[in-house]
Every structure is written in C-alpha cells, then in structure tokens.
Amino acid sequence: MSELSHVDREGRARMVDVSAKSDTTRIAVAAGELCTTAEVVALVRADDMPKADVLSTARIAGIAGAKKTSELIPLCHQLALSSVKVEFGFTQDTITIEASAKTKGPTGVEMEALTAVAVAGLTLHDMVKAVDPAATLNGVRLLTKEGGKHGHWERPADQGPVDIPTLADEPEPTEDISPEQISESDQRSAVVLVASTGAACGTRVDTTGPVLAEWLGGLGFSVRGPLIYADAEIDIGLADALRFEPSLVISTGGTGASPTDATPEATLAVLDRELPGVAEAIRQRGTAKFPLAALSRGVAGLAGRSVVVNLPGSPGGVKDGMAVLEPLLDHLLAQVAGGGHHDNK
C-alpha cells in the first residue's frame, strides 16, 4: 500500500521536503459544476443577474484563490504560478467550471487548479443565491496533470464527477437507450479555442472567442471555452479542446504566414481525415471581400468523431466562418454520428 506523503512515520502531519526534486514545467487542470436552474443559466449567459458581471467576478475569484492556495491549505507549498486560467461552459441547468494552473518548480499545481475551481464555484453560488439558494457545487476533481517524475496523468474516463444522492432521490427502472432517444443538447457539444499569445499573456483582449461561444450557444450547443493559448502552445490547446471528445472544435487565430502561426500544423497532426471543401469555402467567402483572406492557411477535418475547424483570428474572418458553417453543421454532425443522407440532388 502506498504511504500518505503528508504523514510521517509517527502519523503526524508534515510538509513534504521537495528541495531535492528538479524544477520542471508543471500543469494541472481541474473541473467542477454548479448545478442550478435553467432560469439561472439563462440569466448568467445574458449577464442579467441582480449581481452583474457574474462570470468575470467568478473568474477573478478563482484566479485569486489559486494564488492563495498555500494560505488556505496548510501543507501546500508556496508556488510561483506562471499562469492560471478559469473558463466556464453551460448545459441546460449547469454552469461548468474548468481551471488550469501552470508553474515551473519542484512540486505540482494540482491543489492550485482545484482551489481555483472551488473558489470560482463558491463565488458563482454567492452571485446566484438570490435567484436559486439551492444551487449546488458538485464534482470538483482533477482532470489532468503534467510534469515531475510521473509525467502525464489523466483521469480515467469512468471516473467522472460523483453524483451525491439526496433523501429525495428514488431509484428509477433502467432500460436500454438508443441513440435516437438521446436529446439533441446531449449530442451537441462544442469547444472554442483561441490561439493568441497576446491574449494568453493578458496584453490584449480577445474579441473572437466570445462571439463564437455566443453563436454556438444560440445554435443549441453546450459550449466550453473560449480556451486561450499562446501560439507556441496551440498543440496543447488542441489536446485540451479534444479531451472530452466534443462534437465540434472551432479555433480562431494562428492561421497566417507569420513564423509564430502554427494552428494549421497542430491541427493536421490530430486530424484523421480532412474536410478541404469547408476550409476552402471559408477562404473564398473572405477573399470575395478582403483579398488578404487568401493568406489564411486554416484547415478543417475530423479528429475521431470531433469536427475541427480553423478560423482566422480577425472578427471579419470569424464572421465569414460562421456564415459558411451555420448551414452545414447539422448535416455534417449527423453524418459524423452515422446519420445524415447521401441522396443526389
């Protein structure tokens, strides 16, 4: 049996001595959910709560919580965090929370990522309690971690968030469920990924990711993100975006001819099949109004059963991409899922 690292031979709590460990880049990603009502979700998405700016407040609280982890949890080491990101997504009656923490040092950042999720979730609860005092913060858990002697660890697929039963819960009869019985909202998940070194560093404000997230939400998708990554780390961003096998991943940025633009190469590395017609249609629509749009090297294709599409990093390029994709998405996703039709017109 493995021993508890924070307990000595006499059973007393201790702080682990990490001075002999080498400094490596450490990254951890954690998640959780605030279960509430459909009314609250709609109000938060519309930024129409009595306490305004709900998500921004919760994001700042999560980042601040990560930075204070060693003060809140007595045996945690003080870390020089190089990055903390807190992102939100929505289902019909849930606000999902995901936090990533990064450092370079001798010990991991799991607790910082988990603390960010917990504090962001508690802040959401405080912001929505006037409308739903029964909201519940559930499933705070570690998803992945990188670095150190153990390298990459990922939460097993069968170890998702734990549903905690209440006295009101009653067992229901089970039966086989066919794919046709799954609701459209359960099948339509999307991730918005932004490649922008400036936005990742906080020196510029991304204006494309929120537009895509709002558009996809209006189409009935459960949206995760925008996830913002520096151009040099867009391969990590794609792996992050594809982790839960969403129906759709749309990236913006990093498609040009600059030496730092690496989104197409990173995307091609994860694609199983390309959809060249989709990428070309987006280019053609942009070029008709702005000749320099022809310089976009964005690609589209399938990574497993996830559709991945690169869009340029400009608001106009994103608008063109949405116009091309909107009439295609239903049929494309149905085909990828094994449905759709192939009748000649």
126 is catalytic: yes
> Looking at 126, 132, 186, 206, which residue is catalytic?
126
**For residues 156 and 213, what is the distance between their CA atoms, to the nearest angstrom?**
28
Q: 122: which residues sit within 8 A by CB, 6+ positions away?
A: 61, 137
Contact call for residues 246 and 217 (beta carbons, < 8 A): no
Q: What is the full DSSP assignment across 181-192?
A: GS-HHHH-EEEE
Tokens at 133, concatenated: 């005092």
Say if residues 141 and 31 touch (Cβ distance below 8 Å). Answer: yes
- Please give the full DSSP string across 211-271, using - where no structure is assigned: HHHHHHHHTT-EEEEEEEE-GGGHHHHHHHHTTT--SEEEEES--SSSTT--HHHHHHHH-
- Which residues are catalytic, by number? 126
